[in-house]
Amino acid sequence: MIFWYFRFEGRFVNGSPKYGLKSVFSSCLVPVSVYRRAKIKFLETLRQEGIELIEIIEHFAIDEEELDPQDDQNAFWIKWYREAKSLGKPILDKYHVYDE
């Protein structure tokens, strides 16, 4: 199954209790095969987190079958893929928060 990865820049809206009105770089893995549906789920996830999208920096498809488990560089992607698959929902990576 193909999932979609989005790396983005955004800003917290309405003053996040933890981050105020700061901006953020992060990424999201969406367990949906069709790009348009994945993008909609991605945007819904940002709204739920109180993040307004500034820019999608990059996006690409990830297919677990194409990730070589013997390659240590794929360990992060395989773990994240399996987590998203088991939860059945988009997963945000660590926030990199900054002042504008």
pLDDT in tens, 28-57: 999 999 999 999 999 999 999 999 999 999
Q: For residue 3, what pLDDT is reported?
A: 97
User: How far is residue 42's CA from residue 30's CA, in Å, rounded to a whole number?
Assistant: 7
Q: For residue 20, what pLDDT is reported?
A: 84
- Asked if 23 and 96 count as a contact pair (C-beta separation under 8 A), the reply is no
User: How far is residue 56's CA from residue 51's CA, in Å, rounded to a whole number?
Assistant: 13
- Sequence letter at residue 4: W
Q: For residue 83, what pLDDT is reported?
A: 95
> Higher pLDDT residue, 8 or 20?
8
**Half-sphere CA count of 93, side-chain side, radius 13 A:** 18
Confidence band, pLDDT 50/70/90 cuts, at residue 21 = confident
Tokens representing 9 are 């820049």
Kindly tell me if the per-residue pLDDT of 14 is higher than 90: no
- With a CB cutoff of 8 Å and minimum separation 6, the contacts of 61 are 2, 3, 4, 5, 35
Domain ranges of the chain: 2-98
